[in-house]
Amino acid sequence: MTLHVLETDGQVCPFPLVEAKEAMSGLDLGDELTINFDCTQATTAIPRWAAEQGYPVTHFDRAGDAQWTITVRKA
């Protein structure tokens, strides 16, 4: 398992999700992607997309006033 980090701070929705989808497509099964973002809409869009794809969310945390981090495993 390898952990990859995607920084999307400052990007408006839907770009954090678009970039997460692109990044996940290049990962191997079992790899994890940590997405750092500050777009409020992505707090629901990214977990919903992960669930639809069957990707477990292994970590989801508010990292600041308007900043979040979520880790998704490719399954």
Q: Is 13 a catalytic residue?
A: yes
Stretch (H or E) spanning 73: strand 67-73
- The one catalytic residue among 4, 11, 13, 31: 13
Stretch (H or E) spanning 69: strand 67-73
CA nearest to 62, candidates 47, 41, 43: 43
Instruction: List active site positions.
Output: 13
